[in-house]
Structure 1
Amino acid sequence: MTQASKSSSTGFATRAIHHGYDPQDEHGALTPPLHLTSTFSFATAEQGGEMFAGERPGHIYSRISNPTLDLLEQRIANLEGGEAALANSSGMGSITSVLWTFLEPGDEVIVDKTLYGCTFSFMNHGLRKFGITITHVDMTIPENLSRAMNAKTKIVYFETPANPNMRLVDIAAISEIAKAGGAKVVVDNTYATPLLTRPIELGTDLVVHSATKYLGGHGDLIAGMVVGNAEDVTRVRMEGMKDMTGSIMSPFNAMLITRGLKTLELRMARHCESAMIVARELEAHSAVEKVYFPGLESFEQHGLAKKQMADFGGMIAFEVHGGMRTGIETMNRLQMIQRAVSLGDAETLIQHPASMTHSTYTPEERAEHDIGEGLIRLSVGLENVDDILEDLMGALPSVARKVAA
Structure 2
Amino acid sequence: MKKWNNGTSFIHAGAEPDPSTGAIMTPIYQTSTYVQTAPGEHKGYEYARTQNPTRTALQNALAVIENGKYALSFASGMAATDAVARLLQPGDEVIVTNDLYGGTYRIFTKVYAGYGIRFHFINMQNADDIKKYINDKTRMIWVETPTNPLLNIVDIAAVAAIGKAHKLLTVVDNTFASPYLQNPLDDGADIVLHSATKYLGGHSDVVHGAVILNDAALEEKLRFYQNSCGAVPGPHDCWLVLRGIKTLHVRMQRHCENGEVIANYLRNHPKVARVYWPGFTDHPNHEIAKKQMRAFGGMISFTLKDDNLGKAIEVLSKTQLFALAESLGGVESLIGHPASMTHASIPREERMANGLADSLIRLSVGIEDANDLIADLQQAIG
TM-score in terms of structure 2 length: 0.97
Counterpart CA distance in 1 for 2:380 and 2:9 is 41
1:248 is aligned to 2:248: no
SS at match of 2:41: helix
Deviation, 1:365, is 1.2
The Cα offsets for residues 260-300 of structure 1, whole Å up to 9 and x where unpaired, read as 11100000000000000000000000110000001112312
| Other-structure match for 2:102 | 117
Q: Distance in 1 between matches of 2:285 and 2:324?
A: 28
Percentage of identical aligned residues: 40
The RMSD of aligned alpha carbons is: 1.3
Q: Which runs of 5+ in 2 are unaligned?
A: none
SS of 1:61's partner is coil
Q: In terms of mean alpha carbon deviation, does 72-81 or 316-325 score higher? A: 316-325
What are the within-5 Å matches in structure 2 for residues 123-162 of structure 1? 123-162=108-147
Match of 1:41 among 22, 29, 35: 35
Cα distance in 1 for partners of 2:325, 2:36 equals 46
After TM superposition, the structure 1 = structure 2 runs for residues 40-189 of structure 1, keeping only pairs within 5 Å, are 40-47=34-41, 58-100=44-86, 102-189=87-174
Give the letter for the 1:232 counterpart.
L
Structure-2 separation of matches of 1:243 and 1:71: 21
List per-residue Cα deviations over 1:74-113 (Å, max 9, x = no partner): 011011011110010000000001111x111011111011
Aligned with 1:32 (options 17, 23, 26): 26
- Separation in 1, partners of 2:71, 2:17: 22
Q: What residue in structure 1 maps to residue 218 of structure 2?
A: 232
Does the alignment pair 1:272 with 2:267?
Answer: no
| Aligned partner letter, 2:152 | R
Q: Does 1:383 align with 2:368?
A: yes
In 2, Cα distance between the equivalents of 1:76 and 1:136? 29
Taking the aligned partners of 2:161 and 2:79, their CA distance within structure 1 comes to: 27
Matches within 5 A, 1:298-337: 298-323=282-307, 324-337=309-322
Q: Is this contact kept in 2: 1:149–1:178, CA < 8 A?
A: no
Count of aligned residue pairs for this structure pair: 380
Measured in 2, the distance between the counterparts of 1:234 and 1:74 equals 16
Separation of aligned partners in 2, 1:255 and 1:231: 28
Name the residue aligned to 1:7. Answer: 2
Deviation at 1:376, TM superposition (A): 0.7
Q: 1:160-213, CA deviations, whole angstroms, 9 ceiling, x for partnerless residues?
A: 001111011000000110121111011100010011000000000001100000
Matching residue of 1:53: none
Q: How far 1:60 sits from its partner (Å)?
A: 2.1
Partner of 1:392: 377
Cα distance in 1 between the residues matched to 2:301 and 2:283 = 11
Query: What is the alpha-carbon distance in structure 2 between the residues aligned to residue 169 and residue 65 of structure 1?
Result: 35
**Residue 242 of structure 2 is aligned to residue 258 of structure 1:** yes
**Aligned counterparts of 1:24 and 1:281: Cα–Cα separation in 2:** 47
Contact 2:298–2:366 (8 Å) recurs in 1: yes
Q: Give how far 1:24 is off.
A: 6.2
SS at the partner of 2:31?
coil
Q: How far apart, in 1, do the equivalents of 2:332 and 2:136 lie?
A: 46
Q: Does the residue aligned with 1:186 lie in a helix, a strand or coil?
A: strand
CA drift at 1:46: 4.5
Match of 1:195 among 180, 187, 192: 180
* Letter in structure 1 aligned against 2:41: Q
Q: List alignment gaps of at least 5 residues for structure 1.
A: 1-5, 49-56, 398-405
Output the amino acid matched with 1:292: Y
Name the structure 2 match of 1:283.
267
| Residue of structure 1 in register with 2:331 after alignment | 346
TM-score (norm 1): 0.91
